[in-house]
Amino acid sequence: MLSDGVQRLARRAAVAALLPALLACDRAWNDPYPGAEHGANILYSAFSQRPRHLDPAKAYASDEYDFISQVYEPPLQYHYLKRPYTLIPATAAELPKVQYFDARERRLPEAADMRAVAYSVYELRIQPGIRYAPHPAFALDASGKPAYLSLTRDDLRGKARLLDFPLTGTRELTARDYVYQIRRLAHPRVHSPILGHMGEYIVGLKEYAERLAAEDKRLNAGRKAGETAAFLELDRFDITGVSEVDRYTWRIRIKGKYPQFSYWLAMPFFAPVPIEADRFYSQPGMAEKNITLDWFPVGTGPYMLTENDPNSRIVLLRNPNFRGEAYPAEGEASDQAAGLLADAGRKGPFIDKVVFSREKEGIPYWNKFMQGYYDQSGISNDNFDNAVRISSTGDAGLSESMEVRGIGLKTSVATSTYYLAFNWLDPVVGGQGDAVRRERARKLRQAISLAVDFDEFISIFANGRGIPGQGPIPPGIFGFRDGPSGINPVVYQLRDGKPQRRPIDEARRLLADAGYPAGRDARTGQPLVLYLDTTARGPGDKARLDWYRKQFGKINVQLDIRTTDWNRFQEKVRKGNTQMFFLGWNADYPDPENFLFLLYGPNAAARFDGENKSNFQNPEYDRLFEQMKNMDNGPGRQEIIDRMVAVLREEAPWVWGFHPRDYGLYHAWLSNVKPNQMARNGMKFYRLDAGLRGQKRAEWNRPLVWPFAVALLLLLLSLLPAIRSWRERERSGAARGMPAALP
Amino acid sequence: MTAYILRRIVYAVLILIGVNLVTFWLFFKVNTPDDMARMQLGAKRVTAEAIARWKSDRGYDKPLMYNAEAAGVARFTDTLYVSKSLEMFRLEFGRADDGRDIAFEIRSRMWPSLTLALPVFLLSLAVYISFALLMAFFRATYLDFWGVALCVAMMSVSTLFYIIGGQYLVAKIWSLVPISGYAVGVDAARFLILPIAVGVIGGIGSGARWYRTIFLEEVGKDYVRTARAKGLGEVVVFYGHILRNALIPILTGSVVAIPLLFMGSLLTESFFGIPGLGSYTIEAIQAQDFGVVRAMVFIGSVLYIVGLLLTDISYTLVDPRVRFE
């Protein structure tokens, strides 16, 4: 160990060698945040991919929802703590009242036969007094007129950000803003991804979109390149199925019965957008400065977006006009013990500011989390062994190094499913042709289902973070059956009350029954070769591709892996030109319909361009789906779902892969965190102890100066012989000193 | 010289048209406008009508190079190539597919790239030349031998290792600077110290070895012997004569890089969280954003041509014998 004196000297040398700026800091030298933020009530988080859209009519990805869910408020939301996921009002005064009507506009009782229902009417009423976050679009000048709604390009000179507009204003949220957003879904230049889907349900939306498109074309005919498009007045035409009843109430008319529509009302697609904001952002010159609704959202939520540099950082600031929302007082049974009810009844948000920094790479992200500069983190495969310890019973716990730092682990099963799909149109593994052929293919699919061991896949490639699929429905969604009654009997059997994979000999027997004894076609003697289309082709994918081959090799089936780029892969799947492929699905809403529709015949990709990518077709399944999809959750619906899942297990159009389990790490100073797979608006309930964070950061990041000083010293010392040698040469003659230069 | 520069500008236009054509052909060989629409609209619930609307709105519903349905010149002008690629020559970069203005994006991202790349460039030049001169000065001694051995060892290590190793040692273990991040103004310095150091150290091996070879070639020349015969000291010989005469190959390798400093570095910027241009092109290729790809390739080509022109001009400054006639 170096003496104190030497250490002191070394520290001084290193400080002098670094920047004088460091001298001024009273915080850790490696603190990446400005000194002014030291000790402030700010949540630090990170994002790796820049969000493509923040416009609620366009955004459809979870990493986009991380931001806009804090800003926009749809009428409904999911309860923060309750599971299964439960809808509750957000800005709405209560859950919507749904009324059913027949084709002759006669009101029907709630329990009416679904076939008799021609229309459903959703009436929504919001709470009065909700106000928008301060925004220049609402600003008024001294005469009471809008200050920034008739700007010219000259007015925009010197304005590069939203903060450059000195005046801001606000106004009360009204039903008109919700109606306006539904109109925006049909805007021809917004390109909302759900327009096609909603056009099938919301009465008049499709026709409205066509009229708008024609009007937009007329308005912008002859527009030169670079010219700002004319503002499209969305109020000029009506959507027959959407109407404003009064200042706080509006109605949406849906074709038939579509109970899942309530879930859509909890998504940002149905959040309010004030017409002032649309007008403000549509002015000439705004888009050139990237001041658009797609980058600077305007909402009534707990936070407002004040800084958006998607290449560096995105900042949310507490909305001073937010009414406050009471922390829930009830949740799951374990929530009380987990301390998740400590803030019950208190009004959030509890955090003043949220700073999202862009971290494209996992290593710096992880290291900064470990230094205390990020308050929460996921766990990559690289860091899994450092962070998590799996007990002998298979339970996941934290490693000692994490526990010492007081880090907490929370896990939740994602409402997603990953599967290996068989193309139903394929002559070998598909479900076409005569009964004999179909039966052979069914047994082949079952044999493959048995051979491809997803328990092993989860263990090897996901560090055990997943649950083997027993069907399409993941845990947490109504219709999923846990325990022995929920296992897939084609692949698993019960032993001592626990599910175990059936022996591989059963797969070989099924293969022989399918006409391929020992992996060869009984008629031709040729080996059975199957084809898997995938986009995986990098060096990192090799182990996984080898594993696939090995699984098929267990039953002597040769697997030919056809790698292709994403575009061609999608095209092949869409056109039904594949045999097998891997795919996944992340739930839009927590309803079994959102998973079971992936195998509904009329959704087949090849024929109808739908989401049934395996083109599975089964009349019994389709009939049951139509019956189930509009039912309310209950024993009757569960029974039908059980029958549907049984059909699927027997037909095996997918190898039921796995449902991933998400692992999240949280520092001790961050509380009230409960993972929610369906909603991302929970930041309003997070609480953090900035004092503890500052203390831990200082403790974990004490600068170690002497190694740096020693390294500098060694470098200087290494030059000494050279300097001495040079001086000797200078003193000696050229001939003596430069032998090599004088040939 | 003016005639020479004008001639080079004419060549440059021809080269740019060629680059533009190749970029267009390669891009649409891999991606179709339908693919681009699907990428932008997302993977879920996208209908054929939505794709058609997107293409029509963004002007991707035209034929690529030849419009059989048009008449006259419009057969060639009413095409995707003319409407999307030739705009570049008017320096109209347009919008990215995510709606952001490309010129705005480039303007805001090139400065962080430059604040990192310029010090790395200048320091690297100084350090590599000094180290190479040191090795050449002590040639055929243990210092030269171990210097070359160190260079070979350092060249054999991947850039990624220097980045991750630097972050681990300096920012994590020693806690001296932030691991990643960026700030503007004076505060940027503490974020830039480490990436600059890593950038300089990571290139020492190949850089110093290359310059050493150049200097050793000069050391054996007649003018060096003459200088020594006149009784000049070794320092004067090296810095006053050898370095000056070695400037042509040094300029060849370095001046061409100056305009490209704006374009940033993919790995360094990604790992150190510097919001520069380094990843802009690669992200655009992944996002199938033709608007950004064509703009970045065009700018890259222009800057490279400018670099070559500057290199030629710099020759006349360091060697009076070079003439453009």
What is the Cα A640 distance to its own chain's centre?
A: 30
Backbone angles phi, psi at A44, to 5 degrees: -110, 125
pLDDT at residue number A498: 87
Whether B126 and B168 map to the same domain: the answer is: yes
Query: Does the residue B71 lie in any domain?
Result: yes
Query: Does the residue B323 lie in any domain?
Result: no
pLDDT at residue number A734: 47
pLDDT at residue number A14: 52
Nearest CA in chain B to A705: B174
Quick: pLDDT tens for A457-472: 999 998 889 999 999 9
Among the listed residues A230, A224, A216, A218, the one whose alpha carbon sits nearest the alpha carbon of residue A283 = A230
Whether B140 and B234 map to the same domain: the answer is: yes
Last residue of a domain, one of B90, B121, B151: B90
Half-sphere exposure of A42 (CA within 13 A, CB side): 23
pLDDT at residue number A256: 92
Interface contact B220-A309, CB threshold 8 A: no
Can you state the angle between helices B102-137 and B247-254, rounded to 10 degrees? 150
- DSSP E strands: which ranges in A184-241? none
Range of B195's domain? Answer: 104-318
- Chain A: closest CA distance from residue B68 (Å): 23
Nearest CA in chain A to B146: A718
Using DSSP's 3-state secondary structure scheme, residue A121 falls into strand
- Chain B: closest CA distance from residue A705 (Å): 7
- Between B231-240, B254-263, B316-325, the lowest mean confidence (pLDDT) is in B316-325
- The Cα–Cα gap between B207 and B201 comes to 10
Quick: pLDDT tens for A27-69: 789 999 998 999 999 999 999 988 989 999 999 988 899 999 9
pLDDT at residue number A21: 46
Predicted model pTM: 0.89
Q: Which residues contact A84 (CB under 8 A, 6 or more apart)?
A: A476, A477, A478, A590
Whether B83 and B142 map to the same domain: the answer is: no
Enumerate residues 40 to 69 of chain B having a beta carbon within 8 A of any beta carbon in chain A: 40-50, 53-54, 57
Nearest CA in chain B to A564: B30
Quick: pLDDT tens for A139-197: 999 999 999 999 999 999 888 888 899 999 999 999 999 999 999 999 999 999 999 99
Q: What is the number of structural domains in chain B?
A: 2
Whether B50 and B199 map to the same domain: the answer is: no
- The Cα–Cα gap between A481 and A479 comes to 6
Quick: pLDDT tens for A325-349: 999 999 999 999 999 999 999 999 9
Interface contact B273-A364, CB threshold 8 A: yes
Nearest CA in chain A to B190: A19
pLDDT at residue number A463: 87
Quick: pLDDT tens for A244-299: 999 999 999 999 999 999 999 999 999 999 999 999 999 999 988 889 999 999 99
Asked if residue A13 has pLDDT above 60, the reply is no
CATH of the domain at B110: 1.10.3720.10
- The Cα–Cα gap between A400 and B281 comes to 42
Give the confidence band of A2 by pLDDT, cuts at 50, 70, 90. Answer: very low
Of residues A93 and A395, which shows the higher confidence score? A93
Strand partners, A146: A140
Asked if residue A9 has pLDDT above 90, the reply is no
Query: Does the residue B325 lie in any domain?
Result: no
pLDDT at residue number B153: 96
pLDDT at residue number A56: 97
- The Cα–Cα gap between A683 and A301 comes to 11
Contact (CB, 8 A) for A519 and A557 = yes
In order, the DSSP letters of A633-648 are: SSHHHHHHHHHHHHHH
Whether B117 and B24 map to the same domain: the answer is: no
Whether B85 and B170 map to the same domain: the answer is: no
Quick: pLDDT tens for B131-153: 999 899 888 888 889 899 999 99
Last residue of a domain, one of B67, B90, B113: B90
- Between A124-138, B25-39, B133-147, the lowest mean confidence (pLDDT) is in B133-147
Q: What is the mean pLDDT of the segment spanning B106-118?
A: 92
Interface contact B270-A18, CB threshold 8 A: no
Backbone angles phi, psi at B65, to 5 degrees: -120, -25
Interface contact B176-A705, CB threshold 8 A: yes
Q: What is the mean pLDDT of the segment spanning B244-267?
A: 86
**Domains recognised in chain A with CATH numbers:** 56-62+72-287 (3.90.76.10), 416-662 (3.10.105.10)
Whether B205 and B292 map to the same domain: the answer is: yes
Last residue of a domain, one of B90, B117, B143: B90
pLDDT at residue number A743: 34
- The Cα–Cα gap between A280 and A301 comes to 20
Q: Which two tokens stand for residue B42?
A: 């997302």
- Chain A: closest CA distance from residue B98 (Å): 6
Asked if residue A529 has pLDDT above 90, the reply is yes
pLDDT at residue number B140: 80
Query: Does the residue B291 lie in any domain?
Result: yes
Whether B25 and B85 map to the same domain: the answer is: yes
Query: Does the residue B96 lie in any domain?
Result: no
Asked if residue A24 has pLDDT above 80, the reply is no
Q: What is the mean pLDDT of the segment spanning B95-121?
A: 91
What is the Cα A683 distance to its own chain's centre?
A: 15
Interface contact B98-A196, CB threshold 8 A: no
The DSSP H or E segment spanning A358 is strand A353-358
Q: Which two tokens stand for residue A360?
A: 């494209």
Whether B75 and B119 map to the same domain: the answer is: no
Contact (CB, 8 A) for A319 and A365 = no
Asked if residue A20 has pLDDT above 50, the reply is no
Q: What is the mean pLDDT of the segment spanning A69-95?
A: 96
Mean pLDDT (chain A) is: 91
pLDDT at residue number A4: 55
Predicted complex ipTM: 0.89
